[in-house]
Structure 1
Amino acid sequence: MRISLHLPIEDVSQPDEFLTGEAVSSLARAIEASGADACYVTDHPFPAEGWINHGGHHALDPFVALSFAAAATTRLKLHTHLIVLAYRNPFLTAKSVASIDRLSDGRLIMGVGVGYMQQEFAALGVDFTQRGKLVDEALAAMKAAWTGEAVAFEGLHFNAPGNIARPAPLQRPHPPIWAGGNSALAIRRAVNHCDGWAPFPAKGKLSAITGTDDIATIDDLRIKIDYAMELRGQAGITRPFDVCMVPFKMMMGHEMAPTDAILEQLHALAAIGVTWSAIALPAPSRAGFIENVERFGAEVIAKLPGRT
């Protein structure tokens, strides 16, 4: 089990604590020192006011934020969890991905998703009903761009008649891509077009808001993972495949669970095929977050199998 810890950079009420270059750098250094394998950021370029007022959050541009984290660290992987691909032209996204992967010595993990906030789609001029098609198109377009060779590709809203983007990413053929979402369609996208799957705990109201399936228990998740493995077997896919899951009851904004309970859940997740866990620790202040990270490293990460 490998661990990706959230960079708490959505708290715009405390800009001096979290939203300076030194703040992001110090947070990333603390995460690296804890023994965590990656840090992650979210993606909300222009969220709806109503969503913000009912518990939603802001976000820095993910590639800018991760570039500061990259410059402050040497080993820590840089994880987008998740980039909403439909918000951007895929070739611009491909350029950002290749740039940060090159400058970080190949440390990017690209979590991607279809998105769910209709008002954000509207504000960005993207047809919400096309989001699934746009994601699949973007995956194909970005992979073509990352070859470093000339690309002829006509999409729903663009036409590349023979364009080229260099440098290519350092990781070949490209950084690992993990597709988010809990639905059967999301799993098929992950298996057929990506290198991993990134579900999240959801039930009831949250499932309805995000437009995805419930995953409320370990058994729910096991059934979904078994489906992914069945699809891989049917297609004869043998390349490595990661599953990155948020521990139950540890979504952003939750209090830190007792460490014994976290360890028990991480072991249970690993037993059914989860290889990564994305975890958000409480961040009452910069110092408070760093203290929680240090505690998590000593009491959880250091006790995971394979850690020294």
Structure 2
Amino acid sequence: MELGFAMPHLLRLKATCQPWEAEVTGADQTRLAKWAEKLGYAMISVPEHHIIPRAHVDLSGPHYFNAYTAMSYLAGATERIRVNSCIAILPLQHPIVTAKALSTADWLSGGRVTITFAVGWLKEEFDLLGVPFHERGAMSEEYVQAIIELWTRENPEFEGKYVSFRDVAFEPKPVQDPHPPVWFGGDADPVLGRVARYGSGWWPFLTKPEDIPAKLDFIRSRPDYAGKLTDVFYGFATSRVGEGHSVRTDPKARPGMSKQEIVDRLGWFAELGVTMSSVPIPALESIEAYFDYTQWVAEEIMPAVA
């Protein structure tokens, strides 16, 4: 079991965030990224929304990065730790632009990019950006095909309803062969089908931990399963966030758990098929206390679950 680093102030979800996180600056996050790498954390993952309608701010908060920009910055500030999204909203940006942003980041970082795509759920965000919400699944299916084509073919060609290209050059290609790991976030059957066809990773959000094995069986039973799935990310805080970022209570996933409680839960996750997790940010008074806490996790929890 590997541990991702829970970076404070990437968002301000009512369900999970501690009050002190809102004071964390970009400079603080740069220090924390270097610290996470030094301690041996495996990955930093960046959430994404482009704009939040006022009606959703209470639960979702107003603060989100562009995933690709933040991933690139964090990769540039470090040397070894992987960067990911959690998630990037695939239909809201043209796939050629997405492919270029991610291949650039992978090339410059020496091959440290993983990408977790999702179709999105916030209709008002799609409306504001002029993207048809009810076509987001079909768009995502084409977009991921087009992105992989651009990443892997010397003379890429694609013909679809939403994107087409031929007689083009696309470089730099990603460093990773055949391309950066592609994960998908979400729980619906079409998402799981996309995992089966293209994904090496799955990031569930509304799935209860005990239901993960059945979902994995579903993915691997698809007739077009490509056999690539190796990673499942399930963070402690995942079960505390419901649909539309609503607050859910899970007493077994509260912040500030003891060492044994954390180790036991991670062991249970591993039995369910989870390969990577993250320990929730506890109730602390300052960022300096979080430096101490993440060191405690690295020294006490990582060796116990490695």
TM-score, normalization: structure 2? 0.84
Offset from partner CA, 1:132-153 (integer Å, 9 cap, x none): 0111111100011112523332
Contact 2:198/2:228 (<8 A) preserved: no
Contact 1:178/1:196 (<8 A) preserved: yes
Offset from partner CA, 1:1-52 (integer Å, 9 cap, x none): 11222322336898995333x3222110121223211111101111222211
Taking the aligned partners of 1:193 and 1:109, their CA distance within structure 2 comes to 13
Question: Which range is displaced more, 236-245 or 86-95?
Answer: 236-245
CA shift for structure 1 position 155 = 3.6
Taking the aligned partners of 2:99 and 2:267, their CA distance within structure 1 comes to 35
The structure 2 residue matched to 1:18, chosen from 16, 24, 28, is 24
* Superposed counterparts of 1:93-108, under 5 Å: 93-108=98-113
Contact 1:24/1:68 (<8 A) preserved: no
Taking the aligned partners of 2:220 and 2:226, their CA distance within structure 1 comes to 9
Contact 1:148/1:167 (<8 A) preserved: no
Taking the aligned partners of 2:72 and 2:226, their CA distance within structure 1 comes to 33
SS in 2 for 1:146: helix
The percent of aligned pairs where both chains have the same amino acid is: 26
Counterpart in 2 of 1:212?
none
Distance 1:148 1:280, change over 3 A: farther
2:141 pairs with 1:136: yes
CA shift for structure 1 position 245 = 1.6
Which stretches in structure 2 are left out of the alignment for 5+ residues?
13-18, 248-253
Question: Which range is displaced more, 132-141 or 242-251?
Answer: 242-251
Counterpart in 1 of 2:250?
none
Distance 1:103 1:14, change over 3 A: farther
Distance 1:52 1:90, change over 3 A: same
* Superposed counterparts of 1:127-276, under 5 Å: 127-147=132-152, 149-200=154-205, 202=206, 215-218=207-210, 220-231=211-222, 234-235=223-224, 237-247=226-236, 249=239, 255-276=255-276
SS in 1 for 2:208: coil
Taking the aligned partners of 1:265 and 1:226, their CA distance within structure 2 comes to 22
Distance 1:289 1:65, change over 3 A: farther
* Superposed counterparts of 1:5-154, under 5 Å: 5-10=5-10, 17-20=23-26, 22-147=27-152, 149-154=154-159
Question: Which range is displaced more, 259-268 or 39-48?
Answer: 259-268
Offset from partner CA, 1:260-288 (integer Å, 9 cap, x none): 22211111111122112245424764323
Letter in 2 for 1:242: D
Question: Which range is displaced more, 47-56 or 247-256?
Answer: 247-256
SS in 2 for 1:185: helix
Distance 1:42 1:11, change over 3 A: closer
Taking the aligned partners of 1:92 and 1:289, their CA distance within structure 2 comes to 36
CA shift for structure 1 position 293 = 1.5
How many residue pairs get aligned? The number is 288
Contact 1:191/1:197 (<8 A) preserved: no
Taking the aligned partners of 1:14 and 1:166, their CA distance within structure 2 comes to 42
